[in-house]
Structure 1
Amino acid sequence: MRRMGFERPTEHYDERIETIDEQLCALVKQRKEMSNNNPGFPANERISTWAKEYQFDEAFLNVLFGHLFTEDLYGPVVEPKEFLKNIPVLRSFEKDDLFCMVTFVKQYANASVVSLTIDRDASEDIQGEFVQHDFFELSVEDQKGTDYTCRSDGGGGSGGHMAYSYIVSPSLPDDLSMVTFLFKKEKAPFGSKVAPFEFVITVE
């Protein structure tokens, strides 16, 4: 899934605020470094206090800090190129009514695409009622200590079945027995509240 390009909303820019805007960028960088890139999210009381003190709407500040919270989603994008082959995995994790499986990995010259399916018991779902699905982040480790970058490439489904794909770069080794897949349900889309949960899938 290709990221859409950004279109500047207006040609107008007040050059007098350029220094302030640069300072904002510097402060965001300082914020990341001071928090080890794990800043969390300000409490509602702080948001309310800052909104009154600096004359902002609370909703605006929530959106602002929401974007800062998920800033890692906007890292450099690697698009898979030159398809090589599919590697079947078929390794799973099960807890209660949740069944998670890495089905296969698509190998490309510059990246890999990991496919994950999640199935749950949907017999108690009410027809027409919205069901909040889980969102998982992927991280990958191997025995060589390779620094892998992982990003979600979207997903979808219906009922009790969901399918997700993740782009991993650089490419994973063909021998996946060297690799560990860690899925974490932590950073949900802004506004969602989920309990932390993670699972590991290895290929033996």
Structure 2
Amino acid sequence: MVFLETMLESKLNPLVALGRSGSLGLAGFVNKFNADAELLDDLNDHWTSKAHKRERNWVIEQMQNYARARRVRVTFLSGDVHCAAVGMLKTLHQGKEPQIPPSQDYRYMLNVVSSAIVNTPPPNAVLTMVSSLATKTHRTLHHMHTDETMVPLFDRDPNGQPAKSKYIMGRRNWCAADWDPSTGDLVFDIRVEIEKGAGRTHGYIVRAPPPRWNA
């Protein structure tokens, strides 16, 4: 993510230069306010952007302390990046230590990413690049004994075709949240548009289990 930001900020980026000159039909690649790459504003909204990463890591650590002390499940609901995805934080698994079940792991936190239904997704090239980072090992939080990854939620597109990415869905979407009284789970149903403007959606469900660790 930081690499992509740096590339788009560079004055040597040929796509930005062509967009500013209006050549090759790339005028839409830059915004009309300051002629920066249009996608740069969206990337700066990501909580893993270089402008937010230190603050983001601090917030996660504070939420872990709060979850452990108060025995509550913390889940992040975010958006404005024009796609759907689910990130996951959990206790870092090292060596032969047994993995902690999500219900007993106070570090287990979902980051449910949705977006306003009116927002169109980023270009396929950007989605492909971000998707390629989904399985990458991120060591940013290892000093906090925390691992971060993404949930392979999207096995198929809403139209039934094989999904281009299991981790990021580049379609307009919205999210509904509910509580399952039979399990205590928080249930997040990401509703993804099947066909643009048709008013029909397909749901992808992810669950956050209730806290079952000892305070």
TM range (shorter): under 0.3
Name which structure has the greater RCO, CA cutoff 8 Å, separation 6+. 2
TM-score normalised by L of structure 1? 0.24
Q: Name the structure where helix makes up a greater proportion of residues.
A: 2
Larger radius of gyration: 1
Q: Name the structure where strand makes up a greater proportion of residues.
A: 1
TM-score normalised by L of structure 2? 0.23
